[in-house]
Structure 1
């Protein structure tokens, strides 16, 4: 399975528009080559270099199996009645983009898409990103990754 974005290259810099210094929109994402038995997808975005450890920026789950992309700004819960979002480490539902401390250098932001063997994850109404990720354990058919960098 492959995960790509028209807004950033794997290992490249994340444009300002997708960060707290810009419009804080989620970037457009597309994927291909998911296993035929996929029943849904889940997406986790986190900062691997946050001072306190891995910091969750977005969890989107119960993405229908027929989806092959998320449009730009899909990270806002109000933009779709279909997509479900976890509570990130900013304590908000949906996407909050890169916002590393000033002068902390470049941070690595990991986008992970999971193809799952179930149509819905067994989660309550406001799960944390960590709970979303834990709910995928034992259900992952394939995983694709995309890495972006951002510093302030």
Structure 2
């Protein structure tokens, strides 16, 4: 009698656990979804976001964030070789409910239109988005990474992009990368 009772309980529990696992895997949605309406990974960086165009920062869309996201961040870097990857933009402490990051964010330490988000600077440079401007005729890979963070960062506005990127990386819950190429026109046209 005990054996039969044990098998009834064990059998029912096993079926419930197995069906629960199957049900969860079928309904799994990506935890973090972001993109840009201006380009997709693998595209060429449109000139309007470079030194050959208006040099404005590109727009981004955040469709879904993982829990417990407390803020969003974006970094921009270009590949100058396997070790050297200079960052040309960092922005952090964007409120997590933000769905659209507009084109042309002002080059200010704090961006009030994005809930007081903070921007970094290149060493010895100005604050905010610095449009990519590789040597004429040379092609470089550029990467934008959109992050979901587990906290609002203490990094002060105007800190270097490298220091801001380190703080962003240490608080990352999830991220999406968009990789683009860009070849600046030759001086002769």
* TM-score of the aligned structures, taking structure 2 as reference length: 0.72
Q: Which structure's CA Rg is the greater one?
A: 2
Q: Is this contact kept in 1: 2:105–2:111, CA < 8 A? A: yes
The whole-number CA distance in structure 2 between the counterparts of 1:107 and 1:36 is: 35
Give the root-mean-square deviation of aligned CA atoms.
Answer: 2.1
| Structure 1, gaps ≥5 residues long | none
Q: State the aligned residue count.
A: 150
Which of 169, 176, 184 aligns to 1:137? It is: 169
The answer as to whether partners of 1:57 and 1:90 remain within 8 angstroms in 2 is no
1:20 is the counterpart of 2:51:
yes
Query: Any unmatched runs of 5+ in structure 2?
Result: 1-31, 185-189
Q: C-alpha separation between the residues in 2 aligned to 1:50 and 1:2?
A: 29
Residues 72, 93 of structure 2: 8 Å contact kept: yes
Q: Which has the higher contact order (CA 8 A, sep 6+)?
A: 1
Summarize the alignment of residues 1-152 of structure 1 with structure 2, pairs less than 5 Å apart.
1-49=32-80, 53-74=84-105, 76-77=107-108, 80-81=111-112, 82-89=116-123, 91-104=125-138, 106-118=139-151, 120-152=152-184
Q: What CA distance in whole angstroms lies between the structure 2 residues aligned with 1:69 and 1:89?
A: 28
Distance across 2 between alignment mates of 1:20 and 1:51? 24
Greater per-residue strand proportion? 1
Q: For residues 80-135 of structure 1, give each alpha carbon's deviation from its aligned partner in whole angstroms, at most 9, with x where no partner exists.
A: 3222100125711000111011122x2111111111111x2111342111111111
Q: Is the 8 A contact 2:36 2:60 kept in 1?
A: yes
| Deviations, residues 9-51 of structure 1 (Å, cap 9, x unaligned) | 2110111111011100011111222102100011110001369
- Comparing 89-98 with 26-35, greater Cα deviation is found at 89-98
After superposing on structure 2, the runs of 4+ consecutive aligned residues of structure 1 that deviate more than 6 Å are none
